[in-house]
Amino acid sequence: MSVPGAWYLGLAAMLFTIGGVGLLIRRNVLIMFMCVELMLNAVNLTFVTFARMLNDIGGQVVVFFVLVVAAAEVVVGLAIIVSIFRRRTEATADDISLLKG
């Protein structure tokens, strides 16, 4: 017996919420970045679930592009974090409140 899509969507909603709460409560920029990845994965799961429910491969194509964009985003984001941390030793977002500081 196959699991109904609603269960997958509920799981994805909870995963998205955990990622969003993590983004709000953590101050370490690396962990905030991981929380963004959690939210992206939750949306990917939603897309794949809808692809199955609607019998449409388009959802999986979208997930493919999301994966590519997520990879590019991580590369650029971590490069920004590295260049910030060359000058600072603290790993919290509160210390990076100025664009030029």
Partner 1 sequence: MDWVVFVVAGAAVLAGALGVILASHPVHAALMLVLTLFGIAVLFVAQQAHFLAAVQVIVYAGAIVVLFLFVIMLLGVDKSENVTTETLRGQRPIAYLAGLGVVAAIFLLARTTWVSGAQSVAGVADGPGSNVEKLASSLFTRYILAFEVTSVLLVIAVVGAVVLARHSPSGGVRDSEQA
Determine contact, residues 44/19, Cβ cutoff 8 Å. Answer: no
Task: Name the one residue in this structure whose structure tokens are 């709000």.
Answer: 24
Distance of closest approach, residue 42 Cβ to partner 1, in angstroms: 9
Distance of closest approach, residue 92 Cβ to partner 1, in angstroms: 8
- Residue 100 in tokens: 């030029």
Q: CA torsion 24→29→31→35, rounded to 10°?
A: 50
SS3 90: coil
Chain centroid to CA 60? 17
Distance of closest approach, residue 97 Cβ to partner 1, in angstroms: 11
